[in-house]
Structure 1
Amino acid sequence: MKKILASIALTVGMSTAAFAADPIEGTWKTQPDDGSYAHIAMKPCGAALCGTIARTFNDGGEYSSPNLGKTLVMDMVPQGGGAYEGKVWRPSNDKIYIGKMDLNGNSLRLRGCVAGGLICSKQTWTRVK
């Protein structure tokens, strides 16, 4: 009987861990770019994580950008230790780059790179509470 209970407890524990939210899930505020910034909703997309533009802001406050609802962070896969790899879209030039992210508490460092990662543009995002 003890073996059965231990087996059930182990199975339940493993199931809970499998369904635990990734620490990157949630809403993140981008750095301002050309005077505007956005809130990005990070959530699962298949086996990876993706981020869509949920809200946009400029000097006048919140506004309705044509980019609302578009995916900015694509197919980010955890690499361990708070690192992620996938792709990022830059709305200002409509290009997709090799993307890397590093999570450190409520700070998310994001890089979009070309030339095999030799040339990168960086931003640090903060978690929206």
Structure 2
Amino acid sequence: MKRILGPCIAALVLSAGAAFADPIEGNWKTASGETAVIAPCGGDFCIKLKTGKHAGKQIGKFGVNGANAYKGTITDPSEDKTYSGSGKVAGRSLTMKGCVAAIFCRSETWSKL
């Protein structure tokens, strides 16, 4: 009985971490084809590029702003300009939006890997 119970408990504990993960956490394919990782950092979620010309660069930081909604800043790595940003998770899609003065905005959708 102990032989079976030990591995079952270990599997349950490991799967519980994934069950409680925030929907925004994980690896995402950006609109331009790079891979970005979103992970907890200091009470918020940091966005860092894993692949492409700007791999290793942090390009955003969001806090929770409702159910599956996030708000913070997003950086265009090619221009190195930071904008107010927001994100909304729906299933395996993340719609990112960056705005200047809340008037001029650009959106793109990322896919969960």
Aligned match of 1:70:
57
How far is 1:73 from its partner?
A: 1.7
**In the alignment, does 2:40 pair up with 1:44?**
yes
How far is 1:68 from its partner?
A: 1.0
Superposed CA deviations along residues 27-77 of structure 1, whole A, max 9, x for unmatched, are 000112xxxx21000000110001100112xxxxxxxx2x11100122x11
- Matching residue's letter, 1:27: N
In 1: Cα distance, 2:67 partner to 2:78 partner: 31
Aligned match of 1:121:
106
Unaligned regions of 5+ residues in structure 1, if any? 1-15, 57-64
- Matching residue's letter, 2:63: V
RMSD: 1.7
Aligned match of 1:21:
21
SS in 2 for 1:80: coil
Unaligned regions of 5+ residues in structure 2, if any? 1-15
How many matched pairs? 97
- Matching residue's letter, 1:70: K
- Percent sequence identity over matched residues? 36
- Matching residue's letter, 2:34: A
Aligned match of 1:108:
94
Residue 81 of structure 1, aligned match among 62, 67, 71: 67
In 2: Cα distance, 1:92 partner to 1:52 partner: 14
Residue 78 of structure 2, aligned match among 83, 92, 100: 92
- Matching residue's letter, 2:28: W
In 2: Cα distance, 1:71 partner to 1:112 partner: 15
Superposed CA deviations along residues 102-123 of structure 1, whole A, max 9, x for unmatched, are 10010000001011x1111111
In 2: Cα distance, 1:29 partner to 1:105 partner: 14
- Matching residue's letter, 2:21: A
Aligned match of 1:4:
none
Aligned match of 2:3:
none
- Matching residue's letter, 1:88: I
- Runs of 4+ in structure 1 off by over 4 angstroms are none
